[in-house]
C-alpha cells in the first residue's frame, strides 16, 4: 500500500492533468450537446417539414452510428476535406453531436407529452412562440427531461475514454501511460474507476437537485 501511495504522489500531476482534461471535455460536450439537443427537440416537435426532416435524419444517423466511428470521422475525415481540428477539438465535436442527438430525442418526447391545450392557452393570452417555450413548455418538460438527461451526461463522461484512440490524454490514457511505467495495473485502474465514479456521482446529485427544484409543489 505504501508503494502504491508513493507512486500516486509521484505521478499526481499526470493524473490531475488527465482528470482536468476529462472534466473539460465532458463538461463542454454536455453543455454544447444539451443546447444543440434542445434546438433539435424543438425542431422535431414544432418545426416545419424542411427543418423537421433534416433534424430527424441527424438524430437517426448519429444515434445509429457507434461513438468510436464518430470520433475517428471527426478527427480523420474532416482533415481530408480541409477542416483541421486538434484531437481535443475533434473529440469535443464528436461527443457534442452524439450528446445532441440523444438530448434531442429526450426533449422531443417531453414536449410531445405536454397537452396541446397548454400551447393553445398560451396563444390565447398573446404569448409569442418563444415566450410560450420559455415560460410554459420547457418548465413542464424539464420535469421529464432531467432524469434521462442525467443518464446521458454520465454516459458522456464514460464515453470520453474513447478519445484515447486519437491521442487525447484524458484520465484513462494517462492511467495507462502510468501503468506502463510502474506495472501497478489493478491499483491504478481501481483508482481511475473511483475517480470516474465520483464525477458521475456528482452529476447525479446535481441532476437530483435540479429535479427537486423543478418538481411540482
CB 101 within 8 A of CB 39: no
Span 18-57, pLDDT tens digits: 999 999 999 999 999 999 999 999 999 988 999 999 999 9
Confidence of residue 214 (pLDDT cuts 50, 70, 90): low
Sign (positive/negative) of CA torsion 178, 182, 183, 186? negative
Number of domains forming the structure of the chain: 1
Span 81-129, pLDDT tens digits: 888 889 999 999 999 999 999 999 999 999 988 888 777 787 788 778 7
Q: What is the extent of the structural domain holding 160?
A: 2-213
pLDDT given for residue 135 in this prediction: 81
Q: Domain of 92: which CATH number?
A: 1.10.3720.10
Q: CB under 8 Å to 8, separation ≥6 — which residues?
A: 15, 191
Average pLDDT on 14-20 reads 94
- DSSP label at residue 161: G
Amino acid at each position: 500500500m505504501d508503494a502504491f501511495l508513493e507512486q500516486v504522489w509521484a505521478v499526481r500531476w499526470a493524473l490531475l492533468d488527465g482528470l482536468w482534461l476529462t472534466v473539460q471535455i465532458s463538461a463542454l460536450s454536455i453543455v454544447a450537446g444539451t443546447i444543440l439537443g434542445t434546438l433539435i427537440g424543438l425542431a422535431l416537435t414544432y418545426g416545419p417539414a424542411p427543418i423537421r426532416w433534416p433534424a430527424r435524419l441527424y438524430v437517426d444517423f448519429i444515434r445509429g452510428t457507434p461513438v468510436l466511428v464518430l470520433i475517428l470521422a471527426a478527427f480523420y475525415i474532416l482533415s481530408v476535406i480541409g477542416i483541421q481540428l486538434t484531437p481535443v477539438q475533434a473529440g469535443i465535436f464528436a461527443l457534442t453531436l452524439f450528446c445532441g442527438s440523444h438530448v434531442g430525442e429526450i426533449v422531443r418526447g417531453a414536449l410531445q407529452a405536454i397537452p396541446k391545450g397548454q400551447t393553445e392557452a398560451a396563444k390565447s393570452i398573446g404569448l409569442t412562440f418563444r415566450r410560450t417555450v420559455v415560460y410554459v413548455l420547457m418548465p413542464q418538460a424539464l420535469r421529464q427531461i432531467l432524469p434521462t438527461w442525467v443518464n446521458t451526461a454520465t454516459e458522456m463522461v464514460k464515453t470520453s475514454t474513447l478519445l484515447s484512440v486519437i491521442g487525447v490524454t484524458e484520465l484513462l490514457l494517462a492511467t495507462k501511460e502510468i501503468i506502463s511505467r510502474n506495472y501497478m495495473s489493478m491499483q491504478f485502474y481501481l483508482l481511475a474507476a473511483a475517480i470516474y465514479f465520483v464525477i458521475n456521482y456528482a452529476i447525479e446529485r446535481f441532476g437530483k437537485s435540479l429535479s427537486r427544484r423543478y418538481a411540482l409543489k
